[in-house]
Amino acid sequence: KVSISLPEELVRYVDDRVENRSRLIEGLLQAWRKQQEKQAMVEACLLLDELDGLNDEDRAWQQAAIID
């Protein structure tokens, strides 16, 4: 169980529109987490694409930096 502080007007807004505010917050956080994970994968793919233009020595250094 977690306690958070929200403005009273926001709590009233949510309560007027959903039956279970905890379920709403959980769903929003799950969606946010998936978005963050997707963004991290996009950034990793962009880094890998950048590696394609490097020579073998530079590629090895970049790969080590990504792993660390």
The pLDDT value given to residue 59: 65
Structural domains counted in the chain = 1
- Give a yes or no: residue 51 inside a domain: yes
Q: What pLDDT was estimated at residue 25?
A: 96
User: Smallest Cα–Cα separation from 54: which of 43, 42, 66, 68?
Assistant: 66
For 54-66, how does the pLDDT look when each residue is reduced to its tens digit (9 = 90+)?
Answer: 666 666 666 677 6
| Structural domain includes residue 2 | no
Number of H helices and number of E strands within the chain? 3, 0
| Phi, psi torsion values for 41, nearest 5 degrees | -70, -40
Answer yes or no: is 3 within a domain. Answer: no
34: containing domain: 8-67
User: Does 68 have pLDDT greater than 90?
Assistant: no
Q: What is the pTM of this model?
A: 0.64
**pLDDT the model gives residue 45:** 79
